[in-house]
Chains A and B, each alone.
Chain A
Amino acid sequence: MKKLILIFFIASVSQVYSQACCTAGSPLLSSLETSTTQKGNLQIGLSYVYNLLDNVYEGTNYLNDNTRNRISQSILMQADYGVSEKFSLSGLFTYIKQERNISAYQGITNTVSASGIGDALLLIKYNLIPLTILKEQELSFGLGTKIPLGKSDLTSNGLLLPADMQPGTGSWDFILWSYYSQGRLFELPLNLVINFSYRQNGTNERFGNNNGSYKFGNELINQLGFGYRTDLPIDFTLFTRMRITGKDHFLENPIPNTGGNWLYLVPGINIKVNRSIVFRLTSEIPIYRNLNGTQLTTTFTTAASIYYTINNL
């Protein structure tokens, strides 16, 4: 049970949706379960993520523009299985709905929405320092791939939707992941968690095979935070998340108004229903944004998740 609690402390930092103006697809990288799973255990999670984007930023400057918003809603199903003492596998599958609302002319709102299965992610994790009750320290590494299951060629009125409205990205990406945790800080029921994730994106042919390749910006996510256990069935977490995204490229040339740096504060609460089931609520609040050019960006994100663990499968 202690390990399960720790896992959920750790996991809550990454269960929120992280997205900027021009990032397509599902919140895969930021939704990775950030711990390994013990041998023979299977953990299944189901999450709903709501992401509102109606802040417009130019660099670090807020622009007062209330003429548009974006709403992204995702359902994520995650499965983690401990293959051995050292290795575990993670799979993440998504369904996403994107909605774009613009009301710039005489209050008329133009709405476009697209929904469908998003991209998937497979990750193999290696547990270099396994978590034990006595030591409560863990260090893990992982690598994986993002599989372009989601469509990236949906059309509206017969016209190709923009990349950031598509459920999928259309590219195979390479994922690097690492994770460190230290429990019982200061002899308190307090855990420190540090996590790095990096996605090297591949290219897609969204404009057709003869028109050159499109590549989304690479993404680095660094997380640092703490979890505090109580004697009640409720635990608390507070993390910071830094997200750095490169510019998208078309024909190997950078696209303006894409990519940037974000810093979020991510508070969370875990409710332990019993030894196997945890319910979680998190929110992601941007506290610093430095975007390339001018972009519509996240105002807030909130997520609700339920996790079920089957021991010794």
Chain B
Amino acid sequence: MKTIKKLLALLAILFLQIACEDTVSSSTQISGEWLIPQNEVFDGGPGKDGIPAISNPSLVGNSSINFMKNDDLVIGVKLDGEIRGYPHPILDWHEIINDKINDNYFSITYCPLTGSTINYNRDLNGNITTFGVSGLLYNTNLIPYDRATNSNWSQMKLLCVNGELKGKIPETYNAIETSWATWKRIFLDAQVVSSSTGYSRSYGNYPYGSYKSNNSLLFPVNPSNSQLPMKERVHGIIHGSKTMAFRFSSFNNGISTLSKVVDGSNIIIAGSKTDNFIVSYYKKLSDGTNLSFTVVQDKLPIILTDNEGNSWDIFGEAVGGARLGQRLKPTKSFIAYWFAWAAFYPGIEVM
């Protein structure tokens, strides 16, 4: 009896002793300074690789995809003439797809909380690597990490913000975003990432409830800006120190274009409300030619013709005419929710 009482007392003392200390340990070491405010970087909860990136995705034709609704979004990439689609319903669960087309190594990085997709080149100074999901967020936006150096990159800031490659600006490939309805109508022979990912997920179900349309955030952003509805998708263009946001409401139901001159550079922005896309390219070609464009209706994926008689598709590639195969230089641009553009680029102008 006395022994048990002593044991209880001992256990109570032990409890009090261990309770006096708070300890944290992690097998993931993140060291060094951050180029963004460290106290605004948050652990999103799932942890490093807790949202598993996909590498070498399984591809199928459009007709084999059964988890997409017409208004679901899909990311399109065209490289060496090959077109591939990366559905949001896959990216919602994986956020990063590491892929390659011939010798073009790229990572589709997507943040469901900011609605932003950027196609990162994963050939880092000749070192081909993959990107993973760090589990960290800045301005509620994805922070991918590269598996070559474990460096952390701010997706929308387009900057490596921590680690060995800190300060490096990522090279990007062009990518478009449109609805599944448009995609399957205009890219009949494209390959699309299938739901055979090796992971058990409900790809038809959006994992964030009403997040796309409500006015709530899951993590703080700074600064906030109420000039536009928080979750309005806008096409932002970064040119030097200037950032511009283009709204879908600025475009017609058919295809229409806007032109902007920024620091002497001519930019054409083409979009369609019904076909759900906005893309932007520099008018000046690499040979110095300044083209004059005209909109093409009802011939998607062709959207433009020029004064030389060339026809250009939604990816900015000449698909007819003397310049067949040439590419317009894409702007540094992508579609994301307004609040995210305003947080990352506070001086952004709404066009």
Binding site for B on A (CB under 8 A): 22, 44, 46, 56, 58, 61, 63-65, 67-68, 75, 77, 93, 95, 100, 102, 104-105, 108-117, 151, 154-165, 167, 207-208, 211-212, 250-251, 253-257, 273-274, 276-277, 292-294, 306, 308
Contacts and interface: CB of A to CB of B under 8 A. Distances in A.
Contact of B28 (A112, A116, A256): A112
Contacts of A211: 220, 222
B8 A156 contact: no
Nearest to B21: A116
Interface in B119-147: 132, 136, 147
Contacts of A250: 216-219
A206 to B, nearest CB: 9
18 contacts: A67-B52, A68-B50, A75-B15, A93-B15, A105-B49, A110-B49, A113-B25, A114-B23, A117-B19, A157-B31, A161-B24, A167-B22, A253-B217, A256-B211, A274-B1, A293-B209, A294-B201, A306-B11
Contacts of B18: 75, 95
A95 B18 CA distance: 8
A162 B22 contact: no
B1 A105 contact: no
Interface of B: 1, 4-5, 8, 11-12, 15, 18-31, 38-39, 41-50, 52-53, 132, 136, 147, 199-202, 205, 207-209, 211, 214-220, 222
Contacts of B11: 46, 306
B207 A111 contact: no
Contacts of A165: 43
Contacts of B26: 110-113, 156-157
Contacts of B5: 308
B329 to A, nearest CB: 35
A110 B5 CA distance: 41
B15 A115 contact: no
Contacts of A277: 4
A95 B218 CA distance: 28
Contacts of A293: 207-209
B117 to A, nearest CB: 20
Given A110-B49, A207-B220, A273-B4, A63 B22 contact: no
Contact of B215 (A108, A151, A208, A253): A253
Given A111-B26, A159-B42, 20 more contacts: A56-B200, A67-B50, A102-B47, A110-B28, A113-B25, A113-B26, A114-B23, A114-B24, A117-B20, A156-B43, A157-B28, A162-B42, A164-B45, A208-B39, A253-B214, A254-B216, A256-B207, A256-B208, A256-B218, A292-B209
Nearest to B30: A157
Contacts of B12: 44, 46, 77
Contacts of B211: 256
Nearest to A306: B8
Contact of B42 (A75, A207, A292): A207
Interface of chain B, main secondary structure: loop
A159 B218 contact: no
A159 B25 contact: no
Nearest to A105: B49
B220 A46 contact: no
Contacts of A308: 4-5, 8
A65 B202 CA distance: 12
A163 B42 CA distance: 11
Contacts of A93: 15, 19
A95 B22 CA distance: 10
Contacts of A63: 200-202
A251 B8 contact: no
A208 to B, nearest CB: 7
A188 B177 CA distance: 70
A256 B209 contact: yes
A22 B45 contact: yes
B24 A104 contact: no
Contacts of A255: 218
B29 A157 contact: yes
A212 B25 contact: no
B220 A156 contact: no
Nearest to B132: A105
Contacts of A46: 8, 11-12, 15
Contacts of A111: 25-27
A262 to B, nearest CB: 19
A158 B217 CA distance: 23
A77 B44 CA distance: 32
A212 B12 CA distance: 38
Given A22-B45, A44-B8, A110 B27 contact: yes
Contacts of B1: 274, 276
A277 B8 CA distance: 10
B23 A112 contact: no
Given A75-B15, A105-B49, A113 B24 contact: yes
Among A77, A112, A273, A274, the one with the most B-chain Cβ atoms within 10 Å of its Cβ is A112
Nearest to A292: B209
Contacts of B38: 158-159
B23 A116 contact: yes
Contacts of B202: 58, 61, 63, 294
B14 to A, nearest CB: 9
B6 to A, nearest CB: 11
